[in-house]
Structure 1
Amino acid sequence: MKKVVVGLSGGVDSSVSAYLLKEQGYEVIGLFMKNWHDDSVTISDECPWLEDSNDAMIVAEKLGIPFQTVDLSEQYKERIVDYMFNEYERGRTPNPDVLCNREIKFDVFMKIALSLGADYVATGHYCRKGEIEKNGEKIYQLLSGKDNNKDQSYFLCQLTQEQLSKTLFPIGELQKSEVRRIAAEQELVTADKKDSQGLCFIGKVRLPDFLQQKLKPKEGNIVEIKPDSETYQTGIPEFESKIEELKFLSQKYQYQPQDGKVVGKHQGAHYFTKGQRKGLAVGGTPEPLFVIDTDVEDNVIYTGQGKKHPGIYRKGLFINEDEVHWVRKDLSLKPGESLELKARIRYRQPLQEATLYQTEQGMYVVFKTPQASITEGQFVAWYDGEELLGSGVIS
């Protein structure tokens, strides 16, 4: 019997994962990760870890599997929370879910599981793992989940071959409705439990309150840029080289306060992110204002009216070489090579046609159609059909 450690989170997905593995004849151990102590920033009882760990324990008891809790709050603070503060301070918007999988679940947690003698780690992610042979070598594929509404492959876009080799995704072939049905049939306490939302393992957080622990409020101006601003009237120049064209397509608009008019005040540019609409507290505009850029150096937020504002869109993005990651290393590009495929810049975004261009400095991703709110610090992931091939941090 192979031994599997399941990350029991106290939710329905991991509960059913544990049940299915037991049915398949694995020796299953349930492990709950405690990653957060500070309740002062979570929104009242939305995701108290105590209740979750209790539910996880009740599920383990029901399934007759051993259960224990591991406290990873120190590593979580160091690798996720501090990283988030640092990124926001630099005016970037991190994705804690992707990081949490890379740094905590499939690294710290996996090492603990393997030290307990486990052959595999299993999670309740909606994605699948494939295996192929290439030149006599076994290669693992990260495939999207069968439930298109719940596919979570994007959150796992930073996994490595080694991590995939030791991972199982028991519910990847199922629809969410089937997972709930199985939980109900097995009378698992989590059958009707709402999906947890908010920050991976912390729960629902008031982001400004959370960030204010480290990043102090600092009043600055909200500047509105008109859609017919000169910034957008540049036209497309003649290019001397392909790299020049890629740079042009990927560069963000540069704004100065004098390019627009001051329409309000904010409490810190580092609390805001591109595409954000809530929290600006500026009324009286015919269409809602969206953040089109933030300048943390000068503490200015630039906004534009309506979803169609030209400042929201751009066709390309760049990833620094040290932040390009291939799940399928065997398919990675060499400088000068390009590849047409599909990509997404956020979870649940429909896949978009794109071309990757690898250079010495890093990779350009150019989309067929302009994309809304390409945001520094977020991840772009690229796919061939159902298979996620790689990802990178937007720089």
Structure 2
Amino acid sequence: MKRVVIGLSGGVDSSVAAYLLKEAGYEVIGLFMKNWHDDSVTISNECPWLEDSNDAMMVAEKLGIPFQTVDLSKEYKERIVDYMFNEYEKGRTPNPDVLCNREIKFDVFLKIAMSLGADYVATGHYCRKDTVIKEGKEVYRLLAGKDVNKDQSYFLCQLSQEQLSKTLFPIGELTKPEVRKIAAENDLITADKKDSQGLCFIGKVRLPEFLQQKLKPKEGLIIEVPSENNHYKKEIPSFKDKEEELEYFASKHSYNTSDGKVVGKHQGAHYFTKGQRKGLSVGGTAEPLFVIDTDVEHNIIYTGQGKNHPGLYRRTLFVNNDELHWVREDLALKLDGVLKVKARIRYRQPLQEAILYKVDAGLYVDFDQKQSAITEGQFVAFYLDDELIGSGVIS
């Protein structure tokens, strides 16, 4: 019997994952990760960790598996929370869920599991893995979940071969309704529980309040840039080579206050992100305002009317070498390498046709169609068919 330690979050997905492992004959141990203590920024009765850990414990009891809670809040603060503050301060928008998987669940948690003599760790992610043999070596492939509406491979885009080799995804072949059905048939307390929408394992957090612990509010201007601004009318120059062309299309507009008119005030540019519509509190425009850029240095937010505003769209993005990651190291592009892929720049975005170009300093991702709200600090993930082969932080 192989021993598997499963992260029981108190939700239906990990509950059913634990049930399936037990049915498959594994020796299963359930661990609940406690990653957060500060209730002052948690929206109280939405998914507090205490209720979740109780649900996880009751599922373990029902399945007859050992259960314990591990407190990872120190590591979570150091590796996720501090990183988030740091990124927001720089005017970038981090993705804590991707980081939590790389740094906490598949690193700190994995090491705890191995110290308990586990052969594998398992999670309730909607994704799959398989193994292919290349040049006599086992290579692990990270595949999209069968349920296209719930596919969570994007959140695992930073995993390594080493991490994948020790991981199981028991519900990857199932759809959400099938998972709920299995939970109901086996009287698991989590069968009808709503999915939590919060930061990974923290529960629902009000992001501005969360950020205000470190990043103090500071009043600044909201400027509306009209869609007929000269920025968007520039003639495209001729390029000496492909790299120069990619650099041109990847560079973002740099705005200044004379590009538009002041339409309101905000409490801190670092609380806002590109593409954001809510929280601007500016009325009286024909179409809703969207954030098209934030300038944290001068504390200014630039906005445009409507979701088709040209300031929201760009064709190309760049990833620096030190923020580029290949799940499939054997497919990593060498200098001047080119690869046709499908890519996404956020969770749940339908996959987009794109071409990767490897240059000296990093990697360009050049999309067939312009993309809305390409946001620095977020992850771009690239796929071949339904296999996620690599990712990087948008720079």
2 CA distance for matches of 1:242 and 1:193? 51
Q: TM-score, normalised by structure 1?
A: 1.00
2 CA distance for matches of 1:381 and 1:116? 33
- Which residue is equivalent to 2:73? 73
- Which residue is equivalent to 2:248? 248
List per-residue Cα deviations over 1:74-132 (Å, max 9, x = no partner): 00001000100000000000000000000000000000000100000000000000100
1 CA distance for matches of 2:203 and 2:68? 21
Q: Secondary structure at the match of 2:194?
A: coil
Matches within 5 A, 1:43-192: 43-192=43-192
**How far 1:284 moved relative to its partner?**
0.2
Which amino acid letter does the alignment assign opposite residue 213 of structure 2? Q
**How far 1:44 moved relative to its partner?**
1.8
Q: Which runs of 4+ in 1 moved over 4 A?
A: none
Q: What is the aligned residue count?
A: 395
Which amino acid letter does the alignment assign opposite residue 377 of structure 2? G
2 CA distance for matches of 1:306 and 1:249? 22
**How far 1:240 moved relative to its partner?**
1.2
Which amino acid letter does the alignment assign opposite residue 325 of structure 2? H
Which amino acid letter does the alignment assign opposite residue 370 of structure 2? P
**How far 1:205 moved relative to its partner?**
1.2
Consecutive unaligned residues of structure 1, counting only runs of 5 or more, are none
Percent identity of equivalent pairs: 77
**How far 1:154 moved relative to its partner?**
0.2
Which amino acid letter does the alignment assign opposite residue 152 of structure 1? Q
2 CA distance for matches of 1:208 and 1:58? 34
**How far 1:45 moved relative to its partner?**
1.1
- Which residue is equivalent to 1:340? 340
**How far 1:198 moved relative to its partner?**
1.6
1 CA distance for matches of 2:385 and 2:53? 37
Which amino acid letter does the alignment assign opposite residue 241 of structure 2? S
- Which residue is equivalent to 1:259? 259
- Which residue is equivalent to 1:364? 364
- Which residue is equivalent to 2:295? 295
List per-residue Cα deviations over 1:129-167 (Å, max 9, x = no partner): 010001000000000000000000000000000000000
Are 1:286 and 2:286 counterparts? yes
Which amino acid letter does the alignment assign opposite residue 384 of structure 2? D
2 CA distance for matches of 1:367 and 1:389? 17
List per-residue Cα deviations over 1:213-244 (Å, max 9, x = no partner): 00000000000000000111112101012111
- Which residue is equivalent to 1:31? 31
Which amino acid letter does the alignment assign opposite residue 231 of structure 1? H
2 CA distance for matches of 1:238 and 1:23? 63
**How far 1:394 moved relative to its partner?**
0.1
Q: TM-score, normalised by structure 2?
A: 1.00
Consecutive unaligned residues of structure 2, counting only runs of 5 or more, are none
Which amino acid letter does the alignment assign opposite residue 125 of structure 1? H
Which amino acid letter does the alignment assign opposite residue 320 of structure 2? N
**241-250 vs 159-168, which moves further:** 241-250
2 CA distance for matches of 1:149 and 1:239? 41
Are 1:389 and 2:389 counterparts? yes
**How far 1:47 moved relative to its partner?**
1.3
Which amino acid letter does the alignment assign opposite residue 342 of structure 2? K
**How far 1:203 moved relative to its partner?**
1.2
**How far 1:202 moved relative to its partner?**
1.1
- Which residue is equivalent to 1:318? 318
